[in-house]
């Protein structure tokens, strides 16, 4: 397990962790996904499967393998898997109850 500090980005679909960090703990890419940056640039990035732990809750998720200069991001897919939302006024994560039909 590696403890990381990153930015929660509800506008990002995927969580992103530096590839070198993922390799340190034995996580290897299984494919690529195309993503669009805020400036409109579209790139293909390697992706891996990892478990994300926030607080006492854990979820499997797809993680983008970032470059050394890339930010560590927690994306919407991981937040949904953890049933977490964002309180923008208090800048905190809040527990949600997932809708289920």
The tens digit of pLDDT for each residue in 64-96 reads 999 999 999 999 999 999 999 999 999 999 999
Where residue 6 falls (left for φ over 0; alpha for ψ -120 to 50; beta otherwise) is: beta
The full set of domains in the chain, from first to last, is 7-95 (2.40.70.10)
Nearest in space to 79 (alpha carbons), one of 64, 66, 98: 98
Specify whether the CB–CB gap between 34 and 43 falls below 8 A: yes
The tens digit of pLDDT for each residue in 30-39 reads 999 999 998 9
**pTM given for the model:** 0.91
């Amino acid at each position: 397990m590696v403890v990381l500090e990153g930015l929660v980005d509800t506008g990002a679909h995927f969580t992103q962790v530096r590839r070198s960090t993922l390799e340190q703990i034995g996580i290897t890419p299984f494919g690529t996904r195309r993503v669009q940056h805020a400036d409109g640039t579209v790139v293909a990035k390697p992706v891996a499967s990892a478990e994300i732990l926030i607080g006492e809750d854990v979820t499997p998720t797809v993680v983008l393998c970032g470059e050394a200069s890339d930010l560590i991001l927690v994306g919407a897919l991981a937040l949904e898997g953890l049933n977490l939302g964002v309180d923008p006024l208090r800048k905190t994560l809040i527990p949600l109850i997932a809708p289920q039909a």
